Amino acid sequence: MPSRAIAFEAAHLTRRRFRAVIAALVLGVVAVALLCVAVGPVRIDLAAALFGFGDASAIDSVILFRTRLPRVLLANCVGAALAMTGAVLQALLRNPLAEPHILGVSGGAAFGGVLTLFLAAGAPVPSYLLTPFGAFAGALAAMLVVYRLGTVNGRLQPYTFLLAGVVCNAFTGALIMAVNAVADLFQTHGILFWLMGSLATTSYPLVLASAFFVALGGVLVARHARALNALTLGEDNATQLGVDVSAVRRLCFVVCSLLVGASVAVSGMIGFVGLIVPHVTRLLLGSDHRLLLPASALVGGMFLSVADTVARSLSSTSELPVGVITALTGGPFFVYLLRRQSSRGLW
């Protein structure tokens, strides 16, 4: 029966479908990036700007390559990092509502960054080189605390874990306010500016560094995509399928801390990307993590570039923090998911 054979093809992830989907999404990322660099308060001629590459007198070209392109590239890196983290945490916690912010990881990263800014005042090294390390250390510390609290006898308890994350978020929020209160006015301004976050950058080295972290983290977790699939069936089931659960879990948590730390360090707290993107990607492309992880990364990049473009284009005199756009779209979406989940009795 030929029809049966075709249905069998469509019911699982084949190499052919994987390649087709990834190719289509890469094209999508390029198209969205072109669209985003073309849009802005100043109208530029994209073709002329592209051809004027390197010519400092061609103003369109300068706007394109010095301000808009690095920003769009950075948005892609950060979006990819947050979306992949969301996808991994959702698998580990077996809960489609897990997200780095809800788990307190980004709160930890933010506190780490703020503390670095506060302590590094007067240090010979510029603070923007130190904050990524502070943010990563903060993310890792928060993750360790939440992980410790959320595992009992070596088994992960998703509900305890989520609650521990919420508490950790509130706790680091209080710590940030405390640091802010003792800092002087000049520092406070710097801290708030950093916390609010922005993808505005003209630094290609920064973009490259982010891309490196995202690629490294992505490869590390993607190698365990099959184990993540098994883990969504529960830890015992995964063990019985031959997965070394505690090793995979540890690696994934460290990588998530790395990704969140790196993204909070360059762009502050950007919420809901890690929640919406994997969720929508799963709805459209299925739940196999071999496809879900890279696809979420690409979709996350597209989503954040668009959100950032909207944020900087709404007004020509000032710009909204991109986190405002992602939260305004993500908040209601989260509530919608929560309602749908509880009506299906999963919560």
Contact residues: another protein, CB under 8 A: 7-8, 10-15, 18, 94-96, 153, 222-227, 229-230, 232-234, 236-237, 239-244, 282, 286-288, 290, 346
Quote the least distance from Cβ 273 to another protein, whole Å: 20
CA-to-CA dists, residue 227 to 92, 167, 210, 231, 270, angstroms? 10, 29, 26, 6, 28
CA-to-CA dists, residue 94 to 63, 147, 228, angstroms? 44, 15, 10
Pick between residue 3 and residue 318 the one whose CB is nearest to another protein: 3
For the CA atoms of the chain, what is the radius of gyration?
21
3-class DSSP state for residue 41?
coil
Specify whether the CB–CB gap between 78 and 266 falls below 8 A.
Answer: yes
Closest CA to 113 of 141, 145, 83: 141
Quote the least distance from Cβ 288 to another protein, whole Å: 6
Pick between residue 7 and residue 314 the one whose CB is nearest to another protein: 7
Quote the least distance from Cβ 236 to another protein, whole Å: 5
3-class DSSP state for residue 152?
strand
Cβ-based burial of 152 (10 A; exposed 0-12, middle 13-18, buried ≥19): exposed
> Cα(137)–Cα(148) distance, rounded to whole angstroms?
16
Quote the least distance from Cβ 248 to another protein, whole Å: 10
Closest CA to 83 of 270, 335, 328: 270
Pick between residue 280 and residue 290 the one whose CB is nearest to another protein: 290
Q: Which stretches of the chain are assigned E, i.e. beta strand?
A: 151-152, 155-156
Pick between residue 109 and residue 276 the one whose CB is nearest to another protein: 276
Quote the least distance from Cβ 9 to another protein, whole Å: 9
Pick between residue 78 and residue 227 the one whose CB is nearest to another protein: 227
> Cα(181)–Cα(313) distance, rounded to whole angstroms?
34
Pick between residue 36 and residue 276 the one whose CB is nearest to another protein: 276
Tokens 């995202």: give the residue: 214
Pick between residue 190 and residue 286 the one whose CB is nearest to another protein: 286
3-class DSSP state for residue 151?
strand
Specify whether the CB–CB gap between 112 and 127 falls below 8 A.
Answer: no
Residue 156's φ and ψ, nearest 5 degrees, are -80, 130
> Cα(224)–Cα(220) distance, rounded to whole angstroms?
7
Pick between residue 55 and residue 236 the one whose CB is nearest to another protein: 236
